[in-house]
Every structure is written in C-alpha cells, then in structure tokens.
C-alpha cells in the first residue's frame, strides 16, 4: 500500500522549473527545505543562499532547478493546488448530492491540514501554513499576465472551475459561481491568517471552527436563497 501511494506524484506545469525537482534527491531536498525555510523566515526573508546553506548545497545548484525564488513559490502553490485537486477527486467520488459534494469541498478547503502524508517529501502541514500567508504573492506581481499565459495558474483555475460546476448543479441560475469560489478560497486564507495575527478582522469563537461554519453558511445562502 505504501509502495503504491509512493508512486503517486503531483504534476506541475513544466515551464515553472528549469529541472523537475521531483526527479532527484537534491531537488526533493530543495523543495522540502524551502518549505521549512519560507515558513520560518517568510517569503521576503527567504533567499537561495540561505536555502543552499540549510540543505548543505550551493546557490548554483539551486539555480539549476529554479530561475528565482518567485518561480519556486509558484511551484509550491501549483503543487498545493494539484494536491488539493487530488484530495477532491478522492473525497468527492461517489457523493451523489451536489450539496454534499459542495460541503465536503468547503471542508477540504477550510480545514487546517493536520497530517503529513506519507507519499511525498513535502510537509503538507507547513505548506498549508505557507499558502495562507504567501500564496497570493505568487500572482500579485507585474509578471502575472505572462505567467498566466504560460499556464502557471491552471491548477488553481481548474479547482475554481470544478467547484463552480458543483454550484451550478445546485442552482443553474446563479450568476457568480466563480467569484463565489475564489472569494471563498482567498477568504479562507485571509481569515486563517487573521485569526493568528489580526484577530480584530475576524471572529474567533471558542470551540467552533468559525471560519468553516461561516463560509458554509455564506455559500449556501448565496446559492440557495432569495433575499427576504
């Protein structure tokens, strides 16, 4: 079983990297190390020099995998969305009602990742933590149009489209399905971040997962109700 799972790997757009880090020991150490280091230092404080030191390699070697740290961040986010897609495929299979599928999808997106999977070198707990604080920096740059054209964000877009389709199954007349989904996804990241750092901007309720409850409430009301 473990062996089977170890053969599953998340594919990301080939143009993101110079050399696929998934194909070598150094590449996997590089990615694993970058997750630990970005989580520790933040993306701005993170440099390839520090990464090289932390994995006992050299800057030059890292530059053979990624053009720059921005591309590495895009790689991590693309991997994350690929992984999320994979979790959705498994989690939503054989769930007949679109309502239940949507509920499950929201759960997957809002959950704080608490278990590291055994099938990859990537620590999904730390990666999830990075995504909350850093993922928007992957597209909030002047190179976004070019990078979008090259398909760097296709994983994210595919997920939005998939969930959008579920919403349209529930209510084919709902006009803002993509907006609703991307508002949910980015919102979850922000609210989780706010809970930790800017609690005045959110609502923390003892013993409840307010974020998950809030977004479920919000989405179903948006899709299913007519205003009183």
Residues that bind its own copies (CB under 8 A): 41-42, 44-45, 133-134, 136-137, 139-142, 144-145, 148, 153, 156-157, 160-161, 175-180, 182-183, 186-187, 190-191, 193-194, 197-198, 200-203, 205, 210-211, 213-214, 217-218, 220-222, 224-228
Cβ nearer to its own copies, comparing 50 with 137: 137
Between the alpha carbon of residue 225 and those of residues 10, 87, 103, 135, 180, the distances in Å are 38, 29, 16, 32, 14
Tell me the closest approach of the beta carbon of residue 134 to its own copies, in angstroms: 7
What minimum distance in Å lies between the beta carbon of 10 and its own copies?
Answer: 21
- Three-state SS letters, 74-142: HHHHHHHHHHHHHHHHHHHCCCCCHHHHHHHHHHHHHCCCCCCCCCCCCCHHHHHHHHHHHHHHHCCCC
Choose the contact partner of 75 out of its own copies, DNA, none; CB within 5 to 8 A by kind: none
The closest of 224, 188, 201, 168 to 80, measured between CA atoms, is 188
Rule CB under 7 A: say whether 68 interacts with DNA. Answer: yes
Of 32, 125, 119, 133, which is closest to residue 75 (Cα–Cα)? 32
Among 63, 86, 90, 176, binds DNA (CB under 7 A): 63
Per rule CB under 7 A, is residue 40 in the interface with DNA? Answer: no
CB atoms within 10 A of CB 206: 5
> Taking CB within 5 to 8 Å according to partner kind, which of DNA, its own copies, none is near residue 2?
none
Q: Is 67 in the site for DNA (CB under 7 A)?
A: yes
User: Which residue ranges make up the site for DNA (CB under 7 A)?
Assistant: 19, 24-27, 47-50, 56-61, 63-64, 67-70
């Amino acid at each position: 079983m473990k062996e089977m799972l170890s053969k599953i790997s998340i594919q990301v757009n080939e143009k993101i990297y110079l050399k696929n880090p998934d194909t070598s020991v150094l590449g996997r150490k590089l990615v694993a190390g970058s997750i630990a280091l970005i989580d520790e230092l933040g993306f701005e404080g993170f440099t390839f020099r520090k990464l090289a030191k932390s994995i006992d390699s050299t800057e030059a070697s890292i530059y053979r995998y990624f053009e720059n740290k921005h591309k590495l961040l895009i790689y991590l986010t693309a991997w994350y969305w690929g992984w999320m897609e994979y979790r959705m495929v498994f989690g939503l299979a054989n769930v007949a009602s679109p309502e239940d599928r949507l509920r499950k999808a929201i759960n997957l997106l809002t959950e704080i990742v608490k278990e590291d999977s055994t099938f990859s070198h990537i620590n999904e707990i730390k990666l999830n933590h990075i995504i909350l604080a850093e993922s928007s920096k992957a597209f909030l740059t002047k190179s976004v149009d070019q990078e979008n054209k090259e398909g760097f964000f296709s994983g994210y877009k595919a997920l939005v489209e998939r969930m959008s389709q579920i919403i349209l199954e529930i209510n084919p007349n709902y006009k803002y399905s993509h907006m609703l989904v991307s508002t949910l996804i980015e919102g979850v990241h922000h609210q989780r971040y706010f809970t930790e750092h800017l609690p005045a901007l959110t609502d923390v309720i003892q013993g409840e997962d307010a974020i998950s409850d809030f977004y479920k409430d919000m989405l179903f009301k948006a899709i299913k109700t007519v205003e009183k």
